[in-house]
A and B are shown apart, each in its own frame.
Chain A
Amino acid sequence: NAGVTQTPKFQVLKTGQSMTLQCAQDMNHNSMYWYRQDPGMGLRLIYYSASEGTTDKGEVPNGYNVSRLNKREFSLRLESAAPSQTSVYFCASSRYGDTGELFFGEGSRLTVL
């Protein structure tokens, strides 16, 4: 079972460049999430999509945009990358939006120079 698949796994960008992180889940989950993980800061929610057709801001949305393309796919876009966006990004999904049982992808390591 693939679960949650993220691409790319690694990316190096220059300041000001744009890129899109892709995420797909094959568990028929309704809710999907994007988190970033930084040393000493834990996991912080960037954006989430409680169900297909809806998206909402999380704790740290500035500098990011998202698209819930369909029930399976949820992408995260950096329009103009900044060094502060150097992080490990995780996509997650959950069947029941209220409870917080999340299934995570393996992460995308992004470095912005």
Chain B
Amino acid sequence: QKEVEQDPGPLSVPEGAIVSLNCTYSNSAFQYFMWYRQYSRKGPELLMYTYSSGNKEDGRFTAQVDKSSKYISLFIRDSQPSDSATYLCAMSSPARGAGGTSYGKLTFGQGTILTVHP
């Protein structure tokens, strides 16, 4: 079983629709929860970042974390064609490498391909 499960889609919606993207996870040590957006042939860019359970809103985007259910969601309201991209969930727990240095051990979901058509 993968630590992070994400439905790869693809997901196709009409412009203006509400989009719901979800990830489940099994590692209770995860503390930071992120959503990255990746346009075709580009690098991922951080979209939303949350720490612990609860909601966070940024414009048309809302990130939700439910640590008790090990479930995170990203909602996109009034979706636009420019939202067409791959959305990756990512989760982090502090870790120490062999040299004793700390780093963010990030585990990514597979990514969901979203297309918003006019």
CA distance A24 to B1 in the complex (A): 35
* Chain A residues, CB < 8 A from B72: none
Q: State whether the Cβ of B106 lies closer than 8 Å to any Cβ in chain A.
A: yes
Could you tell me how many residues of chain B have their Cβ less than 8 Å away from some Cβ of chain A?
A: 28
- Contacts of B90 on A, CB cut-off 8 Å? 100
82-100 of chain A: CB within 8 A of chain B: 90, 92, 94, 96-100
| Residue with the highest number of chain A CB atoms closer than 10 Å, among B41, B43, B44, B101 | B43
Note all chain B residues with C-beta closer than 8 A to A101: 32, 34, 46, 49, 104
Q: Does B53 contact A (CB under 8 A)?
A: no
Interface segment, B10-18, B60-68, B77-85, B92-100?
Answer: B92-100
B56 interface hit (Cβ, 8 Å):
no
What distance in Å separates the Cβ of A19 from its nearest Cβ neighbour in chain B?
A: 20
Residues from chain A with a CB closer than 8 A to the CB of B34 are 100-101
Known: A101-B49, A104-B43, A104-B45. A45 touches B104 (CB 8 A): no
The listed residue with most B CB atoms (<10 A of its CB), out of A51, A55, A57, A104, is A104
**Is B104 a contact of A102 with CB atoms below 8 Å?**
yes
Bound together, the chains give a CA A75 to CA B22 distance in angstroms of: 34
B78 to chain A, nearest CB (A): 26
Nearest neighbor of A45 in chain B, beta-carbon distance:
B106
Within 8 Å of chain A (Cβ to Cβ): is B102?
yes
Chain B: minimal CB distance from A53 (Å):
9
CB distance from B13 to the nearest CB of A (A): 23
Number of A residues near B (Cβ < 8 Å) is 29
Chain A residue nearest in CB terms to B95:
A98
B90 to chain A, nearest CB (A): 7
Given known A40-B110, A43-B108, A94-B104, contact A99–B97 (CB-CB < 8 A): no
Is A79 close to B, CB under 8 A?
A: no
B92 touches A97 (CB 8 A): no
Report the separation of the CA atoms of residues A98 and B92 in the bound assembly, to the nearest whole angstrom: 8
CB pair B97–A48 under 8 Å, yes or no, is yes
A56–B98 CA distance with the chains assembled, in angstroms: 7
- Which residues does B use to contact A, with CB under 8 Å? 8, 32, 34, 41-46, 49, 88, 90-92, 94, 97-99, 101-106, 108-111
